[in-house]
């Protein structure tokens, strides 16, 4: 009978603990990261010969969770935040391209073209000349403003990335502190485990992570690099900017020899001209004497064996070109003091490198080889060849943003930091900032080229642009120079106002045709090599704007889809781990009934004992 009383007492204690657990679950229903608790109840072990047991024990409260579903939620959360960040950046670009009925680059282009048409109709009108100067200057200024707005969005992204790195390091430190507290106790605290899970979910916003706990050792990886090892060994995450300069190589496929005179016999009065940014140029002529050290004594006479070294000297000696680029005779070797040396015992190939590393040092250069029998006779040109850099063996100026952990680069697959880093690295195919800056640069380069020179070949037909006329082999006096715009990028683009007074009827007739020309090439190789994507100036910019909107719409669609996926996983996970009031109320009724039943047993046993003790 006394044993029955002990059994009932254990039932009362277990039911009391269970009711308290239900109360705790309901109280923490809205606590961030809280997972519902379940009391582990088990039968007390037999310690004697009784056959009905010794009662019940409420030993521990454990969390309801699922490692598999938790990992899925973390993965989908990372992807969602990747698309959120990407959509925000595209939104900033779209805002930069936004136009109204009266303002915007489209309107500036149309007003400039109309100003040309007005002046063509009245070439001596000072009003129309002033109007052309106004709209030509505004076109350049607004293109540069639009370009600058994209750069500002890029800079804001970079600053945001630095703040996010600080957030990541703060979260890692918090997880490390929690691991220290967990290590001091024999039984893991549920509230600390909840907090660690919540921090992992928060961390997954920034990057793809994975964590595991084996034999009491906790490890967390960001990407493929360990950020927390051995429970508390924390590696700070850093972001590093790396800049490499643009390198144009005029080289053959063999990777050794020059491509400048490929198939050309260099002799007599032939010249080789290097033109930079469609503005400044230098030339070497066959038979010209070159003084490389400035002592007044020629070091060599230009011929087919040393023209590369002659070009290198001319480029590096030119006060304008040397501000932007440095030329080398082949691949250089960098010395310990930072100087660069080349093997100048023979010609190798022309290497032209930007002075400023990274995207800021961007330039455009090309070479024209002119075969001419008499330098004084403009009709004696036998051939002209334009040579561009080898695209496969040259390098664009690159800005690279890489995330490191303890000097180990982290290759991220998703998350906010992935979206930011790939849009700050110019070589990334996903970099939308670079895509649209390049499109604007292509517009600027083409505008400068087609308003530079032309050759009239018929009543209404022309060879358009400086690049195409560089290949013109007819009477060189037929080439008409305009130089209305100069530069090869948005930043270097200029409207040369002084040239407006030099615009005669012939030049204006040519410029006016550009307004209606629908097969303008924006590939930078000349109008005589226009590809299938050739279009008009106005339509080119409209296509750029459409592309911006299309990218934003596509990104928003992917974001909406990913949100639905994440919400589905979140709902399944919450149904498992979150507190359900209805379920808790049923548990409350159940444990309350158990408590009442055990109390009834105590009452019955007490009455039986009283009856026995009352016997005489």
Task: Report d(CA 311, CA 294) in Å as an integer.
Answer: 16
Is residue 222, in this structure, part of any structural domain at all? no
CB atoms within 10 A of CB 2: 8
Neighbouring residues of 209: CB distance < 8 A, sequence distance ≥ 6: 74, 78, 200, 203, 220, 221, 222, 227
Strands (E), 388-525: 398-405, 408-409, 453-456, 462-464, 480-481, 485-486, 494-495
Regarding whether 138 and 76 lie in a shared domain, the answer is yes
Least confident window among 37-51, 267-281, 519-533, 542-556: 37-51
Q: Which residues contact 295 (CB under 8 A, 6 or more apart)?
A: none
How many Å apart are CA 66 and CA 209, to the nearest integer?
17
Output the CA angle 40-42-43, nearest 5 degrees. Answer: 165
- Same domain for 315 and 173: no
Domain that holds residue 257: 247-387
Quote the number of domains for the chain. Answer: 3
Q: Is residue 295 part of a domain?
A: yes
Structure tokens at 423: 């849009």
Least confident of 24-33, 188-197, 373-382, 418-427: 373-382
If DSSP codes are grouped into helix, strand and coil, which group holds residue 427? coil
Give the confidence band of 234 by pLDDT, cuts at 50, 70, 90.
Answer: confident
Q: What is the pLDDT of residue 540?
A: 95
**d(C-alpha 391, C-alpha 48), whole Å:** 89
Q: What SS3 class is residue 245?
A: coil
Sequence-ordered list of residues with C-beta below 8 angstroms from that of 257, at least 6 positions apart, any chain: 251, 348, 349
pLDDT in tens, 514-545: 999 999 999 999 998 888 889 999 999 999 99
**H or E element that contains 26:** helix 2-27
Q: How far apart are CA 360 and CA 34, in angstroms?
A: 50
Nearest residue to 172 (alpha-carbon basis) of 87, 93, 232: 232
Residue 616: predicted pLDDT = 59
Residues 309 and 411 in one domain: no
Q: Where are the beta strands (DSSP E) in 406-510?
A: 408-409, 453-456, 462-464, 480-481, 485-486, 494-495
**pLDDT greater than 80 at residue 431:** yes
- The predicted model gives 83-104 an average pLDDT of 93
Tell me, yes or no, whether 350 and 466 share the same domain: no
Q: Are strands 237-244 and 325-329 parallel, antiparallel or unpaired?
A: unpaired
Identify whether 232 is part of a domain: no
Report if residue 202 sits inside a domain: yes
Shared domain for 444 and 518, answered yes or no, is yes
- Residue 159 — pLDDT band, cuts 50, 70, 90? very high
pLDDT at 216: 81
What does the pLDDT read at residue 573? 92
Q: Is residue 25 part of a domain?
A: yes
Q: What share of the chain is helix, strand, coil (3-state, %, to 5)?
A: 45, 20, 35
CB 497 within 8 A of CB 126: no
- Show Cβ contacts of residue 399 under 8 Å, excluding neighbours closer than 6 positions: 241, 242, 243, 358, 359, 424, 425, 426
Query: According to the model, what pLDDT value does residue 408 have?
Result: 84
Query: Are residues 184 and 264 both part of a single domain?
Result: no
The neighbour count for residue 549, using CB atoms within 10 Å, is 14
The CA distance from 174 to 39, in Å, is 29
Mean pLDDT of all residues belonging to the chain? 91
More confident residue, 26 or 378: 26
The token pair at 195 is 């907090």
pLDDT at 49 over 70: no
Cβ(466)–Cβ(368) below 8 Å? no
Residue that terminates a domain, selected from 387, 421, 451:
387
Q: Within 487-580, where are the H helices?
A: 505-516, 537-577
Listed residues 338, 361, 387: the one ending a domain: 387
β-pair type (271-276, 280-285): antiparallel
Residue with tokens 């501000």: 323
CA 412 and chain centroid, separation: 13
Is residue 314 located within the same domain as residue 201?
Answer: no
In a domain, 90, yes or no: yes
pLDDT of residue 392: 95
Q: Percentage of residues in the chain with pLDDT exceeding 90?
A: 70
pLDDT at residue 568 above 70? yes
In this structure, are 58 and 117 located in the same domain?
no
60 pLDDT tier (thresholds 50, 70, 90) = confident
Q: What count of other Cβ atoms lies within 10 Å of the Cβ of residue 438?
A: 16
Sign of the alpha-carbon dihedral angle for 425, 429, 433, 436: positive
Alpha-carbon span 146 to 179, nearest angstrom: 50
The better pLDDT of the pair 387, 269 is held by 387
Tokens describing residue 530: 């226009």
The answer as to whether 217 is a domain residue is no
Distance CA 394, CA 399 (A): 16
CA dist 234 and 219 (Å) reads 10
Instruction: Give residue 609's pLDDT.
Output: 81
Do 351 and 484 share a domain, yes or no? no
Lowest mean pLDDT, pick from 305-309, 421-425, 506-510, 604-608: 604-608
Over residues 437-493, the pLDDT tens digits come to 999 999 999 999 999 999 999 988 999 999 999 999 999 999 999 999 999 999 999
Q: Read off the tokens for 207.
A: 């990057």
Helix (H) or strand (E) holding 581: helix 581-613
Domain final position from 549, 568, 597: 549
Tell me the per-residue pLDDT of 316-362, one tens digit each, with 9 for 90 and over.
Answer: 999 999 999 999 999 999 988 888 999 999 999 999 999 999 999 99
**Percentage of residues in the chain with pLDDT exceeding 70?**
98
What are the structure tokens assigned to 575, written together? 């149904």
Binned at pLDDT 50, 70 and 90, residue 584 comes out as: confident
CA dihedral over 302, 305, 311, 312, signed as positive or negative: negative
Shared-domain flag, residues 367 and 408: no
Is 460 a member of any domain?
yes
Q: At what angle do helices 67-96 and 537-577 cross, to 10 degrees?
A: 160
In degrees and rounded to multiples of 5, residue 368 shows phi and psi of: -120, 125
- Tell me the CB-side half-sphere exposure of residue 311, using CA atoms within 13 A: 34
Tokens of 214: 């084996």
How far apart are the C-alpha atoms of 531 and 515, rounded to whole Å?
A: 19
Q: Which pLDDT does position 50 carry in this prediction? A: 62
Instruction: Provide the token pair at 355.
Output: 């002075």
Res 44: pLDDT: 81
Give the Cα separation of 363 and 251 in Å (integer).
Answer: 18
Same domain, 501 and 587: no
- DSSP calls for 276-302: ETTTEEEEEETT-EE-SSSSSS--EE-
Q: Can you tell me which residue has the tokens 């995450």?
A: 237
Number of neighbours of residue 262 by Cβ within 10 angstroms: 12
Same domain flag for 192 and 316: no
- Which H helix or E strand runs over 327? strand 325-329
Determine the Cα angle at 78 with ends 76 and 84, to 5°: 105
**DSSP H/E element including 112:** helix 105-121
């Amino acid at each position: 009978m006394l044993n029955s009383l002990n059994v009932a007492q254990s039932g009362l204690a277990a039911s009391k603990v269970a009711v308290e657990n239900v109360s705790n679950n309901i109280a923490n229903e809205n606590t961030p990261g809280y997972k519902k608790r379940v009391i582990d109840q088990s039968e007390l072990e037999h310690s004697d010969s009784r056959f009905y047991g010794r009662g019940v024990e409420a030993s521990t409260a454990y969390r309801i969770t699922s490692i598999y579903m938790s990992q899925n939620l973390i993965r989908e959360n990372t992807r969602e935040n990747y698309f959120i960040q990407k959509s925000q950046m595209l939104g900033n670009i779209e805002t930069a391209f936004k136009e109204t009925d009266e303002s915007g680059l489209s309107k500036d282009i149309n007003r400039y073209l109309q100003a040309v048409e007005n002046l063509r109709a009245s070439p001596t009108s000072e009003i129309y000349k002033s109007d052309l100067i106004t709209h030509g200057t505004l076109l350049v200024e607004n293109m540069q403003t639009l370009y600058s707005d994209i750069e500002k969005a890029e800079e804001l992204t970079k600053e945001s990335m630095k703040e996010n790195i600080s957030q990541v390091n703060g979260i890692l430190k918090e997880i490390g502190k929690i691991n220290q507290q967990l290590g001091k106790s024999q039984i893991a605290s549920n509230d600390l485990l909840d907090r660690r899970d919540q921090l992992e979910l928060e961390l997954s916003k920034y990057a793809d992570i994975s964590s595991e706990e084996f034999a009491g050792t906790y490890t967390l990886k960001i990407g493929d690099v360990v950020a927390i090892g051995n429970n508390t060994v924390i590696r700070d995450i850093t972001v590093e900017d790396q800049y490499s300069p643009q390198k144009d190589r005029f080289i053959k496929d063999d990777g050794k020899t020059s491509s400048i005179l490929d198939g050309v016999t260099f002799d007599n009065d032939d010249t080789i001209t290097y033109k930079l940014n469609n503005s400044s140029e230098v030339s070497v002529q066959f038979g010209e004497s070159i003084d490389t050290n400035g002592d007044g004594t020629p070091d060599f006479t230009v011929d087919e064996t040393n023209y590369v070294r002659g070009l290198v000297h001319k480029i590096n000696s030119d006060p304008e070109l040397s501000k932007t680029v440095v030329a080398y005779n082949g691949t250089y070797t960098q010395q310990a003091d930072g100087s660069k040396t080349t093997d100048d015992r023979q010609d190798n190939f022309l290497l032209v490198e930007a002075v400023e590393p990274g995207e800021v040092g961007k330039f455009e250069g090309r070479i024209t080889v002119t075969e001419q029998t008499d330098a004084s006779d403009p009709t004696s040109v036998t051939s002209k060849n334009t040579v561009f850099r080898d695209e496969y063996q040259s390098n664009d100026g690159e800005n690279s943003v890489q995330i490191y952990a303890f000097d180990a680069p982290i290759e991220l697959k998703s998350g906010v930091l992935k979206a930011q880093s790939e849009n700050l690295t110019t070589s990334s195919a996903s970099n939308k900032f670079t895509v649209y800056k390049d499109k604007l640069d292509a517009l600027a380069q083409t505008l400068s080229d087609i308003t530079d020179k032309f050759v009239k070949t018929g009543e209404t037909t022309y060879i358009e642009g400086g690049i195409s006329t560089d290949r013109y082999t007819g009477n060189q006096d037929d080439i008409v120079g305009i130089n209305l715009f100069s530069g090869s990028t948005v930043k270097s683009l200029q409207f040369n106002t002084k040239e407006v007074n030099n615009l005669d009827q012939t030049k204006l007739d040519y410029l006016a045709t550009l307004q209606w020309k629908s097969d303008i090439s924006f590939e930078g190789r000349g109008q005589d090599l226009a590809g299938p994507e050739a279009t008009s100036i106005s339509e080119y910019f409209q296509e750029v704007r459409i592309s911006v909107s299309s990218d934003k719409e596509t990104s928003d669609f992917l974001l909406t889809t990913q949100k639905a996926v994440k919400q589905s996983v979140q709902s399944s996970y919450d149904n498992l781990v979150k507190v359900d009031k209805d379920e808790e109320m049923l548990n409350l009724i159940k444990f309350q009934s158990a408590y009442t039943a055990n109390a009834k047993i105590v009452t019955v046993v007490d009455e039986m004992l009283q009856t026995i003790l009352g016997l005489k």
